[in-house]
Amino acid sequence: MKFLFLSLIIGFYSIGFAQKNLEDGPYLHVENDTIHYGIINQDYSELKTLKITNSGNQPLIISKCKASCGCTVPSCPSTPILPGKSDWINVRYDAKGKSGRFLKTITITSNAVNHTIYLKVKGFVKQ
């Protein structure tokens, strides 16, 4: 009985080492997950950039880059980002006709291990 128990423990232990490393693949690293616009006027529209890096070991492909509102327009790289390399996400917020505090979300979907990330765009539009 002891032999069977010991064999099972060793078997499960060795299966754990036989598993492929789940962290293999591209990994989308964002330098800062929030874009701060601060206090802006209603006629304000500016392009801001956010640095992203592939800290994985395979090419990173961004398949979707979508904002929660039409007033926020993201633009993500359309070409693969090689391991160890960086690129930029461009974000334009249009405050025309808006007032008060805003907090928008940008959803980035990719082939990375962390395949969906969420970025925040925030600020305050004064009248």
> And the tokens for 35?
């874009």
d(Cα 87, Cα 80) in Å, to the nearest integer?
A: 10
pLDDT exceeds 50 at position 19: no
> And the tokens for 112?
């990375």
pLDDT bin (cut points 50, 70, 90) of residue 127 is confident
pLDDT exceeds 80 at position 13: no
Element (DSSP H or E) covering residue 56: none
pLDDT bin (cut points 50, 70, 90) of residue 12 is low
CATH superfamily of the domain spanning 22-126: Immunoglobulins (2.60.40.10)
> And the tokens for 26?
């591209």
